């Protein structure tokens, strides 16, 4: 008998629960059709719980989540909670403590009419960002001197360990090999200014590259990467970069693939529990309005299925999403799709069942 997958569901804040609801609707449909056996357990982590209890994550959470095969996350971020508390207390804490050391963000254009760059063929925007997800500027290393005075100094340090950099770069090379597109990895850094951190990245990159003679290599500074992503996105296949640069360039990536409504990502621990999410955030102003595009969350579900080995079901979800994007929607933006949030979910379900 097929394995029963245990999936933890965290709807989270704002529109998170709405888009996750559509994802779960799609999961039910695809599981029925392809014989995927699963169970879900819902967790109420997020801003409302924090405001009620004063704790972002209960101490038991990380241990419990380790018992799942995957985590499906909506969004974290609440307008009544000071910026940083929920992000650090939930999202970053889970990424760190579950050692999800890769943030995998595909940038794929499903229909050229949604690309703001104009006149791009779909195949011109088809790359994957492998973002380091547990180190860099995100570690919270640093502090204040003379805080609150005019002599104040704030220090925020970027942590780059050999182990952290090596496993991330190795994942990127494996990714390029497996995806079998251009078979090329571009290191995105800033070797001309961040001469310590990216010296390590460059040295490890060159060393790992030797083990993959079939994979081509390239380098671009992060500022130039932004330029090329707009001017010649077809140059990229797999981009590997640190946490902060990866955060920034994947928002740009989301835009050239049609917007936050379609951009999905995975926080991956290849040896442990991975967590999948739409990368757009909680979009509080659209909460409960049936306006938010659920396709990013549904694509994140496809990534989740892939990661737990349900490749056929994942492909079916992706195919249905692509068809809905190409044949049904007016726009990928919230409130402009021509359909409500749940109608878009229904369209994806229909595409899976009728296929």
Confirm if 185 and 173 have CB atoms less than 8 A apart. yes
DSSP 106: E
Which lies closer to Mn ion via its Cβ, residue 62 or residue 252?
A: 252
**Nearest approach, Cβ of 281 to Mn ion (angstroms)?**
8
Q: How far apart are CA 312 and CA 304, in angstroms?
A: 12
Q: Choosing among Mn ion, ligand IPM, none, which partner's interface includes residue 87 (Cβ < 5 to 8 Å by kind)?
A: ligand IPM
Q: Choosing among Mn ion, ligand IPM, none, which partner's interface includes residue 310 (Cβ < 5 to 8 Å by kind)?
A: none
Q: Choosing among ligand IPM, Mn ion, none, which partner's interface includes residue 292 (Cβ < 5 to 8 Å by kind)?
A: none
- What's the distance, Cα to Cα, between the start and end of the chain in Å? 25
Which lies closer to Mn ion via its Cβ, residue 69 or residue 247?
A: 247
Which lies closer to ligand IPM via its Cβ, residue 158 or residue 182?
A: 158
Q: Choosing among ligand IPM, Mn ion, none, which partner's interface includes residue 132 (Cβ < 5 to 8 Å by kind)?
A: none
Q: Cα angle vertex 153, ends 151, 159, to 5°?
A: 170
**Nearest approach, Cβ of 101 to Mn ion (angstroms)?**
17
Residue 78 burial (10 A CB sphere; 0-12, 13-18, 19+) = buried
Residue 88 burial (10 A CB sphere; 0-12, 13-18, 19+) = middle
Confirm if 312 and 2 have CB atoms less than 8 A apart. no
Pick the piece of the chain touching Mn ion (CB under 5 A) from 46-54, 92-100, 173-181, 245-253.
245-253
**Nearest approach, Cβ of 197 to ligand IPM (angstroms)?**
18
Confirm if 246 and 129 have CB atoms less than 8 A apart. yes
Which lies closer to ligand IPM via its Cβ, residue 182 or residue 307?
A: 307
Contacts to ligand IPM from residues 167-206, by CB under 6 A: none
Which lies closer to Mn ion via its Cβ, residue 182 or residue 250?
A: 250
**Nearest approach, Cβ of 33 to ligand IPM (angstroms)?**
31
Q: Choosing among Mn ion, ligand IPM, none, which partner's interface includes residue 283 (Cβ < 5 to 8 Å by kind)?
A: none
Which lies closer to ligand IPM via its Cβ, residue 29 or residue 139?
A: 139
Binder among 9, 61, 73, 91 for ligand IPM (CB under 6 A): 91
Q: Which two tokens stand for residue 192?
A: 């001309």
Q: Is the Cα torsion angle 196, 200, 205, 210 positive or negative in sign? A: positive
| Residue 191: Cβ within 10 Å count | 14
Binder among 28, 87, 99, 174 for ligand IPM (CB under 6 A): 87
- Residue closest to ligand IPM (Cβ): 87
Q: How far apart are CA 204 and CA 263, in angstroms?
A: 29
Q: Choosing among ligand IPM, Mn ion, none, which partner's interface includes residue 262 (Cβ < 5 to 8 Å by kind)?
A: none
Q: Is the Cα torsion angle 236, 242, 247, 248 positive or negative in sign? A: negative
Q: Choosing among ligand IPM, Mn ion, none, which partner's interface includes residue 332 (Cβ < 5 to 8 Å by kind)?
A: none
- Residue closest to Mn ion (Cβ): 247
Which lies closer to ligand IPM via its Cβ, residue 258 or residue 266?
A: 266
Q: Please, which residues bridge with residue 107 across strands?
A: 127
Q: Which two tokens stand for residue 165?
A: 């950099």
Q: Choosing among Mn ion, ligand IPM, none, which partner's interface includes residue 90 (Cβ < 5 to 8 Å by kind)?
A: none
Contacts to ligand IPM from residues 225-284, by CB under 6 A: 247, 279
Say if strands 238-241 and 184-189 run parallel, antiparallel, or are unpaired: parallel
Strands (E), 81-213: 102-108, 126-132, 142-145, 153-156, 184-189
Contacts to ligand IPM from residues 7-26, by CB under 6 A: none
Residue 137 parent element (H or E) = none
Binder among 69, 247, 277, 310 for Mn ion (CB under 5 A): 247
Which lies closer to ligand IPM via its Cβ, residue 81 or residue 91?
A: 91
Confirm if 348 and 317 have CB atoms less than 8 A apart. yes
Confirm if 239 and 225 have CB atoms less than 8 A apart. yes
For ligand IPM, the binding residues (CB under 6 A) are 87, 91, 247, 279
For Mn ion, the binding residues (CB under 5 A) are 247
């Amino acid at each position: 008998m097929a394995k029963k997958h245990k999936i933890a569901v965290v709807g989270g804040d704002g529109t998170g629960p709405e888009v996750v609801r559509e994802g779960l609707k799609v999961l039910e449909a695809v599981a029925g059709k392809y014989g995927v056996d699963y169970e879900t357990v819902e967790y109420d982590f997020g801003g409302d719980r924090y405001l009620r209890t004063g704790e972002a994550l209960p101490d038991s959470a990380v241990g419990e989540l380790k018992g799942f095969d995957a985590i499906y996350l909506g969004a974290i971020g609440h307008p009544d909670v000071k910026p940083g508390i929920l992000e650090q207390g939930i999202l970053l804490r889970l990424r760190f403590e579950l050692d999800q050391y890769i943030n995998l963000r595909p940038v794929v254009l499903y229909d050229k009419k949604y690309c703001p760059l104009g006149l791009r063929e779909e195949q011109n925007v088809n790359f994957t960002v492998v973002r380091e997800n547990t180190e860099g500027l995100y570690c919270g290393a640093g502090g204040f001197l003379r805080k609150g005075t005019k002599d104040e100094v704030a220090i925020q340090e970027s942590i780059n360990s050999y182990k952290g950099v090596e496993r991330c770069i190795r994942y990127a090379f494996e990714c390029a090999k497996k995806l079998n597109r251009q078979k090329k990895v571009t290191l995105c850094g800033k070797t001309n200014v961040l001469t310590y951190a990216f010296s390590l990245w460059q040295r490890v990159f060159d060393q790992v590259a030797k083990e993959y003679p079939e994979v081509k290599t390239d380098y671009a500074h992060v500022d130039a990467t932004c330029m090329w992503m707009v001017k010649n996105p077809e140059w990229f296949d797999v981009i590997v970069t640190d946490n902060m640069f990866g955060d920034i360039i994947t928002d740009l990536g989301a835009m050239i693939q049609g917007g936050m409504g379609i951009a999905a990502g995975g926080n991956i621990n290849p040896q442990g529990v991975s967590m999948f999410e739409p990368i757009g955030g909680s979009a509080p102003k659209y909460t409960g309005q049936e306006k938010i595009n659920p396709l990013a969350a549904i694509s994140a579900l496809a990534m989740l299925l892939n990661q737990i080995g349900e490749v056929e079901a994942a492909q079916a979800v992706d195919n249905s999403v692509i068809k809905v994007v190409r044949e049904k929607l007016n726009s990928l933006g919230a409130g402009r799709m021509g359909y409500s949030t749940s109608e878009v979910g229904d369209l994806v379900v229909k595409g899976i069942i009728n296929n």
